[in-house]
Structure 1
Amino acid sequence: MLFGALDHTPSDRPAAAPGVPRDLDVLLLARATTLRAHAGEVAFPGGRIDPGDVDAVAAALREAQEETGLDPAGVEVLGTLPAVPLAFSNHLVRPVIGWWRDPSPIRVVDEHESAAVFRVPVADLLDPANRGVTVIRRSGQEWRGPAFTIEADGDEHLVWGFTAMLLDALFDRLGWTEPWDREREIPLPS
């Protein structure tokens, strides 16, 4: 999870929580629709640890550069969160949190991996009007998770699943979460 300060287009809306500047943002990407897993979903940059990576931090910085073109030298790593198991894809994810102290240009580097790369104001993610839940119903089971609707580069995106769970948990932990309608269902893209 890479946070920075927007150099343009801050949120039109101030966050209700004190200490959340209108220009605080998070780097996200829309995965390519041709991928086998999580196609078209909005996610943080990241991926597997390669043999040449020293640790999860090195892997996160390498993946962010490969997926978004950012210069890792401008990132101050703040730390890692405890590993989170993803039952659906059978992965163990160790989130890395960074401050983008010296933002560099970003872009889609490989269209086979990413469809779009964008920075989203945190205040927009905290806006109750942009919050809801996604619901997956399968075989008589129901899974509900937090979701965010965002606009980036003129397109509307849905942040859900693992990415939304991490953002939701982090905002809760920091005391930034504003009251939102936890019964509002946002349909998943088909």
Structure 2
Amino acid sequence: MTRTDEETAADPTHGVGTGGLLSRAGLPGWLAPVERAARTVEPEQLSRFLPPADGAGRQSAVLVLFGEGERGPELLLMERAGTLRSHAGQPSFPGGALDPEDGPPADGGLLRAALREAEEETGLDPSGVQIFGVLPQLYIPVSRFVVTPVLGWWRVPSPVGVVDPAETARVFTVPVADLTDPANRATTVHPSGHKGPAFLVESALVWGFTAGVIDRILHFAGWERPWDRAKQVPLDWRS
């Protein structure tokens, strides 16, 4: 069901409690289309994998953190350690499961989880991050996580790097200009036959859930450039 404009205006965070942690004041102008998209996008416009109707799945959150580097706007990503049980070796947003210390989801727990996990995985200082939006909750069937993408502006950048090698292989930033460059875009083909967007950036193949979120943000923010969807990259599922 598509929400009316009035419902969207009344619920710009898609039913996710923010606990007073969300602020849209003072964002750089280039983030305006991302903030606007976060308020208006529907879950079905982001992914066909949506949370089960019965409420099953573990609540989690990722931090989609935008900063400004030497080449302009950029995103913070990390590469998961190859020894992890799920999504080993994959580039991803910082994030993880909701913990009791984060508080209930209705009172900003998922936003706190995104910041806490980002600090634990990359060492960033959460006090320098301004949360400005929340995307609809999505679902990762293989790990049964219900994921809330939390959008942040890296208002005061801090040093980042690998905190625990058992969890994180590396931490890196990717210029948005590289993500929108058609030369860096491709379609991945999973052994199951499922196809999805991918980005070949910073010596990494960004695919799966992370690439899907980036792809939709670029599209709905109006940043997407035409690219060759016939260019395919097979996945090595052993990674």
TM-score range, shorter chain: 0.7 to 0.9
The structure 2 residue matched to 1:176, chosen from 204, 208, 223, is: 223
- Give matches, 1:124-143, under 5 Å: 124-138=178-192, 142-143=193-194
Give the superposition deviation at 1:137: 2.9
1:1-190 equivalences under 5 Å are 1-6=64-69, 8=70, 10=71, 23-54=72-103, 55-138=109-192, 142-151=193-202, 156-189=203-236, 190=238
**1:101 & 1:177 partners in 2: Cα distance?**
24
RMSD in angstroms over aligned alpha carbons? 0.9
Stretches of structure 1 lacking an aligned partner (at least 5 in a row): 11-22
CA distance in 2, matches of 1:168, 1:28: 14
Q: CA deviation at 1:158?
A: 0.4
SS at match of 1:47: strand
- AA partner of residue 121 (structure 1): P
Q: Distance in 2 between matches of 1:136 and 1:120?
A: 24
The TM-score normalised by the length of structure 1 is: 0.87
Q: Percent identity?
A: 53
Q: Which protein has the larger Cα radius of gyration, Structure 1 or Structure 2?
A: 2
Partner Cα distance (1:137, 1:64) in 2:
31
SS in 1 for 2:194: strand
CA distance, structure 2, for counterparts of residue 44 and residue 36 of structure 1: 17
Quote the offset at 1:116 in angstroms. Answer: 0.3
**Normalized per residue, which structure has more helix?**
2
Quote the Cα distance in structure 1 between the aligned partners of 2:182 and 2:156: 30
Distance 2:94 2:163 in 1: 12
Distance 1:186 1:125 in 2: 16
Q: Which runs of 5+ in 2 are unaligned?
A: 1-63, 104-108
Q: 1:13 maps to which residue?
A: none
TM (normalized to structure 2)? 0.69
For 2:82 and 2:140, locate their aligned partners in 1 and report how far apart those are by CA, in whole Å.
21
Q: Displacement, 1:109?
A: 0.2
Q: Is the 8 A contact 2:160 2:171 kept in 1?
A: yes
Aligned residues: 169
